[in-house]
Copies of this chain bind each other. A is one copy, B any other.
Amino acid sequence: MSGELTHLDADGTARMVDVGAKPVTARTAVARATVRMGAQTAARVAAGDAPKGDVLGVARIAGIQAAKRTGELIPLCHPIGLDHVEVDGVIDAAAGTIVLTGTASVTARTGVEMEAMTAVSVAALTVYDMVKGLDKGVEITEVVLLEKSGGRSGHWVRS
């Protein structure tokens, strides 16, 4: 493992990495978060969701808005624009899960993983907030990066 903790300088002090010399390239990242709940709760969400789409609808908007504020939330993240953000949600009532997938892309000097990860994290917290009155045991069971492309490290897909 030849990598270094790039956010720490020679003294171990936190800093924002200097990306001024990096080229501007198109970059994309995809992340996923899963919220697990009782099958009954998931069924209620699915049913309540049918007429107005609200639980997933609110979660999607929350995720998109959070992606735009990633640089404010994550201390050493660069503030970047975004060309595109999208958050989708799928309810599996039988399994008792809601899976949120988020894609972010930008044309910039640095990657967009944190924007995708932040989008699905906040979307998952929003789902949690909307169902916690039904089921106190609801939990977020994963927030992971699925894929990234663009930049020096090329295309990476979670194996």
Tell me, in angstroms, the Cα distance from A139 to B61 when the chains sit together: 24
**Chain B residues whose CB sits within 8 angstroms of the CB of A73 once the complex forms:** 62, 65-66, 69, 73, 122, 125
Tell me, in angstroms, the Cα distance from A135 to B124 when the chains sit together: 24
**Chain B residues whose CB sits within 8 angstroms of the CB of A17 once the complex forms:** 84
Count class of interface residues, chain A: 35 or more
Q: Which of B69, B114, B134, B140 contacts A129 (CB 8 A)?
A: B114
Known: A12-B52, A142-B141. A129 touches B76 (CB 8 A): yes
Q: Closest approach, in angstroms, between the C-beta of A42 and any C-beta of chain B?
A: 12
Tell me, in angstroms, the Cα distance from A139 to B33 when the chains sit together: 10
**7 A-B contact pairs sorted by A residue (CB < 8 Å):** A5-B45, A7-B129, A14-B64, A20-B106, A61-B61, A136-B156, A139-B145
